[in-house]
Structure 1
Amino acid sequence: MILISAILILYALLIVFLCFGFKRLKTDKLKSASTHLTSFSIIIPFRNEAENLNTLLESLSNLNYPKSYFEIILIDDASTDASVALIEAFKQQAEVSIIVLENERFSASPKKDALTKGINTAQFEWIITTDADCKLPDLWLQHYDQKIRAEDSKFIAGPVSFFTSAGFLDRFQQLDFLSLQGATIGSFGLLQAFMCNGANLAFSKTEFLILNGYAQTDHLASGDDVFLMQKFIKEIPEKVHYLKTSEALVLTQTQPNWKSLIEQRKRWAAKASAYTSWFAVLISLLVLLGNASLFLVIFYPEIWPLILLKIAVDFLLIWQTASLFNQKKSLIYFPLVAVTYPIFTVYIALASQFGKFEWKGRVFNK
């Protein structure tokens, strides 16, 4: 009973600190357009994304940035659908440089291999990564350009959320992701960044090469974003920043069913055992134990006040993120998600550390 209470209190304190960090991190506002623009190489791996590429390519063509100041590099990871044909057709009428490459496998991580090939091909100093199932905001590159110049950054994490759609599964994913983004922003505000998302990430190519890129972590299928950030933080922590603005928000697709969602989250969670950040380990443990404690309320009804405290601080963090991203309508689903989320979280945490997971039609070991 005492141990359970202590875990829930520590969990609540952690989320409160993340909420404080969220508030502490200033929101980035776009000022007048710069006359000295940064050049970007946008790197996008893809595998069988024909149904999503039109949205991505249209958003790329709508970027409010001089076309001569960025290039698009797409790396095909053995697609068997019409993805390549769609890109080739788009190239014919595009006003920006587009390069399509074939992935070359040399590690256990197809995505890291594809990113490495794209980065090595890139002609510009600043690399931006995103995914093929995303939609990019019009002012995306303008915000990155301003951030780089204002703060002399070398690594910048940007915000990511899901397209808004109906149905409990989609709302569950959206609220879950809002909590992850809230924790990400809060950790940056506390100067203890431990998480980011490769769907919206920018970094210096020179520093990437100096740090040997994805070496030492390419035996893991995922983690191209987090482990790279940890390298930057270890060497130049003062150059690692977060782009806190809804105008740079990248939208991506939710998983279509529970099976796909479980496989995705197992892949994400599988890398947790390789974390080197003490803060990341602490948060992972407290989140797991805090959610697992909810199952014990049947045996210890005295902890109900602490359960309600946990739910309240969870809501506060999600509300902050939803307000920033203009997605507060999804909060109506919070009570139902609050009930189902502990079961989902504990299952994923355990399942991810044992056995295999499926991703893009391939099976990977942990």
Structure 2
Amino acid sequence: MGFDLSWLLWALPVAFALGWLASRFDLRQWRLESRQAPRAYFRGLNHLLNEQQDQAIDAFIEAVRHDPDAAELHFALGGLFRRRGDYDRAVRVHEHLLARADLPPRERERAQHALAFDFLKAGLLDRAEAAFTALLGTRYDADAKVALLGIHERSRDWARAAEMAQALEGSDRGSFRLRLAHHRCEQAAALHRQGHTTEALALLESLVHQVPQSARAWAALADLRQSLGHVDGGLAALEALADHCPEHVPLIAHSLAQWSLMAGTPERARSRLADWAQAHAPSLDVTQALATLDPDATTARQRYIAHLRQEPSLVAATLWLAGVPLGTADEEPLVRRALERAGEPLKRYRCAACGFESRQYFWHCPGCQGWDTYPPRRVEEL
């Protein structure tokens, strides 16, 4: 039986027509999806401008579904997840990007950078450290070093923190000399606790010569010398602090007064504190220290009156009233207790960055983890 060529003549036009219809269908589908993707994207952008993060996430998820190869949409979605605190989903988005073989090197570094911050925000410090370490030497090198510095500080790994601060010194991120000094002070404190007093003393003495602007280094050196019985050496360190960091004198005024009395040199401390008081705004700590150094109680009380003439102070008034009878023997304790209770919150220190208040002065704020964010004055004096 012979082959009928007429079927071939009919089949070719039919196949062509089917192919043309299929291409038209695919083209329409592609156009429809390409229109839906930007619509979803712009809808998500509109929600972002209106601070509607949940609706923006839904819109971006829809946009990613229509255009799964768009890296920019993934970055937007991952950033939204992180801002909302949904760190697991942010990690999955950025890990999905890193798993793509077709991702350009520049976008791969960007995804690694975003993933590192996902881990950091989630509190996964070990994974964040590994992710940021992978960014060293890239265009995110400075960001990675700053983040690693913060991780080492949170982990209280002061040796590695000091190493990272040294690496950042001289970069476009500013000076890290004072921050490095804090790390060295923490190392010295650890050495002292472990009984390595000689090493701690040598570290602090070297530090004050390298970073004389560090008030903490001078104060730590003074405390260590005094604890070893070297009162004169401690006083010398406090006087050096007053010369290099005069704004921090209120923090050491009490120690300067007490140690000078122990050393038998009260006049020297009185003269230095009086000169400081004339050149700076009134400080309750300096006024108290001067009152301590005055041998006559009446003269000491006049210090508080002089303070009150310059600046109203409930704490100074309470100290002045310490030498004045306040009613009967039964009434006086009640009045004094009420005055002390009212003045107690005014004696605190307050972080200028986050507002965290404490009776103790902190070089490193427990609230915001900032360094040198506490003014060296009481709340009442701010």
| TM-score, reference length from structure 2 | 0.23
**RCO higher in structure (CA 8 A, sep ≥6):** 1
Structure number having the greater helix percentage? 2
